[in-house]
A = this chain, B = another copy of it.
Amino acid sequence: MNKLTDFFKVLSDETRLRILILLYHKKLCVCEMCGITGESQPKISKHLAKLRDIGLVKDERQEQFIFYDLNLNEQVYKGILEKIVDNINDYPVLKSDIEKCKHAEKYLESCRR
């Protein structure tokens, strides 16, 4: 059951929740996630590291960028994220993130600030 409670601990942090909901929709690289969420790179990277450690995401380098993708083995986890997405209108921040992620590429250029 630790795996389940650990999963909920992941979701209990807003930044991580935003990341997971983003990745639920699209494979993204770190600087895209920074751009979309407005959070700093170390912050995003650190949370991604946690997600990676417990196997919820996987990373893959594509040229200069490292792209992250969901890696949800358990059906339960997928179902829970799905519940949130189904009620996305209740969560404006998540909804706005998803909108922005449709044009994620534009955050690639502006990666360096």
A residues apposed to B, CB below 8 Å: 1-2, 4-6, 8-9, 11-14, 17, 74-76, 79-80, 83-84, 87, 90-94
A–B complex contacts, Cβ < 8 Å, 7 sampled: A1-B14, A4-B17, A4-B84, A5-B17, A6-B12, A8-B17, A74-B90
Given the known interface contacts A8-B8, A11-B8, the answer about A83 and B87 at a Cβ–Cβ threshold of 8 Å is no
Q: Is there an interface contact between B1 and A5, defined as CB atoms closer than 8 Å?
A: no
Decide yes or no: A1 and B80 within 8 Å by CB, A9-B9, A75-B87 being known contacts. Answer: no
Contact B14 A5 (CB under 8 A): yes
Query: Nearest residue in B to A90 (C-beta to C-beta)?
Result: B76
Distance, CA A75 to CA B74, complexed state (A): 22
Instruction: Flag if A11 contacts B5 (CB, 8 Å).
Output: yes
Residues of B within 8 A of A12 (CB): 5-6, 8-9, 11-12
